[in-house]
Structure 1
Amino acid sequence: MNYFYGFDASAESDSWNKGRYKNENGEKKDIFEILKDHGVNYIRLRVWNDPKNVNNPEEPGLSNLETLVKQAKRVKALGLGFLLDFHYSDYWADPGKQAIPQAWLSCTTSDQVAKKLSEWTSQVLSALHDAEASPDMIQIGNEINSGILTGHYESGKLKPLSSVVSGSSSRSPENYIKYLQSGIDAARKSCPQAKIMLHLAEGGGKINWLLDMYKDAGLDYDIIGLSYYPFEKSHGGIDNLAENIKIFRKTYGKEVVIAETAHPFMTDNPKSADLVNATANLTHKNGKVYEGIEVKNGLVTASVKNQAAVIKAVSDTAKASGARGFFTWGGEYLGSWKYGMFSDAGLPLASLNVFKD
């Protein structure tokens, strides 16, 4: 597989989405078949430890182990690549929140936490192996800029973990590296053929210090995964993304993949921060907006056409800079979700054709 045209479809089995996907003719189809027909060759699926944990702020969705195995079997049956995204949490993990699974809260040392992380990684990969649905690529954590396993939820409120067990990248770097290596080791042992990804947000930002930390620690991984959302100010300009990809490949000797990107096809506010940030980040250093992207009243618009144009801009930039591919995020959500790539009726939006090479 040369270039990855990837799509995160993790929520396709959630009740508000399940069974509602249709092709252009209005015929109900498996979303993975629809995606493959539109040029997608890689699917990304997340797994949470216990998404029904009553301490979560809300129930985030169905991405438990049982659901994951069923999804992965369908993905592999279609001959698609499979990227497994470990959140190592009962809830969403991202730079602002990295909550330890409730079942691991009894751990009082970092070694105990590392063991739990290793066991869970092995358990998930063993279940996938038994189902003949092993992943081709494995993420050890999700957007781990701030760390991994740094807090916990209590009645919906996020609280910090003790520094003794916290995996903060800045305050407890020894634990942070220990946990990442524990996950990597378990993944290598359980699924030796898979590529290992470490996934950071702010793809066009200043994140070299984290990659330097991984290099100094001798972490054994293959791919630098980057989130790049132009509507997020901290993700930087698209020219900075291109520079980062080139520098990261050369400096760290790793492949680079855009693990998440998106653009809204609609907005409640035509002057929203999303569009202000997207306009700034999609403007080249010469002052011109990336070619093919529509601008109205000085702002990059939210439209089906621009959804495709922005994703294509990210993909083309990644490819020209030597990256292996990209994945969209949130495209499977229905119900007036502004980053979705299907209509409320489950029909593919025209932007879904962006995956066709």
Structure 2
Amino acid sequence: MRGADISTLKKNLDKGAVYRDARGRRADPFALLAAGGMNAARLKVWVNPADGYNSKATVLTMARRVKAAGMKLFIDFHYSDAWADPGKQNKPAAWANLPFPQLRDAVYRHTADVLGALRAQGTPADLVQIGNEINGGMLWPDGRWDNWPNLAALLTAGSTAARSASPRTRVVLHLAEGGNNAGHRWWFDNAVSYGVPFDVIAVSHYLYWHGTADSLAANLNDLSARYGRDIMVAETAYGFTTAEDDFEPQIFTASLAATAGIPATPAGQVTAFRTICDIVAAVPNGRGIGVFYWEPTWTAVTGAGWDPADPASGDGWENQAWFDFNDRALPALQVYNAYR
């Protein structure tokens, strides 16, 4: 799968974003992505987001566009009203005071509801992620990393719901820090020992945060063999510049570029991206099944900022997009064509 997370694309388009090809001609972003070799899209799901985006309703709308473009669909449940990642796994407000048995049931119902609705409208998910970057667990404090019985029960509820509502959908478990072999072995040893059902292992790997390319390759090869599962990189990205196009400070900086050792240029972005793709393609026995670049269409547009509760927030990601500050496609948009 040659994929990208395009969760913010609908919000961007609704707020007036424009996308152009490399020659500056305005075009439909789905057509540009498909022409660049992309064949799969990832969409995150929040429970009750403040701005309504990344909700069940908007995911259903986006899923129709994804499937109409001939792409596979990868659904990413955060089990939160906003961002969930290694540093925060906040419960949705509606679930905040539920006793654990009811919290587990809420995970089941929410998962089954969204995946069932996708299947009913003829756009079933090909992959589903039960939690997002859950190295430290999910739905804190109940499902923290130091309470594996609870964490396993929540993961099993999500996985069981997915398989019931959408039987052909493959279940993915996703961790950050793609080069952290010891941490990942510990985590997946626990998941297996508690009988959590899953089909695919996914990691995030940003070369400026998560270690070297060699550490990623070694970890993917080991995890795939150790657990007998297909494996993928569910998130990666790199900056084509360290400049910014709005008032929000950029996540990707000159310091991070120095850490990665790759220039913050359009050519450097291609180098970093291809490095990840090559590693996944080389996983033995064809177990490396895909790469998903994170938010390549999230350009700086007023009103499409990072905080769903604050319409005045900005975008700290536009210097890692596949479109420059004049909305023109960058060379990174064409990388996937080399892997068709």
> What is the match of residue 48 of structure 2?
50
Pairing partner for 2:88 from 70, 86, 97: 97
Deviations 1:235-280 (A, max 9, x none): 222111111111111110110000000111111599833123212x
1:351 corresponds to 2:338: no
Displacement of 1:65 in angstroms is 1.2
Is the aligned partner of 1:39 residue 2:41?
no
Amino acid at match of 1:326: V
Instruction: Indicate yes or no: 2:10 matched with 1:13.
Output: yes
Specify which structure has the bigger relative contact order, considering alpha-carbon pairs within 8 angstroms and separated by 6 or more residues: 2
Percent sequence identity is: 33
* TM-score normalised over the length of structure 2: 0.87
Structural mapping, 1:238-257, within 5 Å: 238-257=213-232
- 1:63 is matched with 54
Matched with 1:130 is: 120
User: Which SS does the other structure have where 1:125 is aligned?
Assistant: helix
Query: How big is each residue's C-alpha offset from its partner over 1:271-330, in whole Å with a ceiling of 9 and x where there is no partner?
Result: 833123212xxxxxxxxxxxxxxxxxxxx2101111111000111011112411111002
Q: Choose the corresponding residue for 2:191, options 214, 223, 243.
A: 214
Give the count of matched residue pairs. Answer: 309
| TM superposition shift of 1:15 | 4.1
| Number of the residue aligned with 2:289 | 324
- Give the SS at the match of 1:256: strand
SS in 2 for 1:21: coil
| Corresponding position: 1:186 with 2:161 | yes
Q: Partner of 1:327: helix, strand, or coil? A: strand
With the length of structure 1 as denominator, give the TM-score of the two structures.
0.83
Question: What residue in structure 1 maps to residue 273 of structure 2?
Answer: 311
Contact 2:12 2:299 in 1 (8 A): no
Partner of 1:169: 145
Write out aligned runs for 1:235-314 (5 A): 235-268=210-243, 272-279=254-261, 300-314=262-276
> Is this contact kept in 2: 1:47–1:87, CA < 8 A?
yes
Report SS of the residue matched to 1:85. Answer: strand
1:26: how far off?
3.8
Alignment of 1:148-159 (within 5 A): 148-150=138-140
* Higher normalized helix content (fraction of residues): 2
Over the aligned positions, Cα root-mean-square deviation in angstroms equals 1.8
Q: Which amino acid aligns with 2:110?
A: W
* 3-state SS of paired residue (2:80): coil
Any idea what the Cα deviations from partners look like across 1:118-139, whole Å, max 9, x if unmatched? Answer: 0001111122122211110100
| One-letter amino acid matched to 2:299 | L
- Contact 1:88/1:117 (CA < 8 Å) preserved in 2? yes
Residue 282 of structure 1: aligned partner: none
2-structure distance, mates of 1:231, 1:195: 30
Alpha-carbon distance in 1 for matches of 2:295, 2:125? 20
5+ unaligned residues in a row in structure 2: which ranges?
Answer: 244-249, 301-316
Q: Which residue of 2 aligns with 1:333?
A: 298
* Partner residue, 1:83: 74
Q: Supply the AA of the counterpart residue of 1:273.
A: S
The 3-state SS of whatever aligns with 1:63 is coil
| 2:57 counterpart SS class | helix
Structure 1: which 5+ runs fail to align?
Answer: 53-58, 151-160, 280-299
Q: Which residue of 2 aligns with 1:230?
A: 207
- Give the letter aligned to residue 237 of structure 1: T
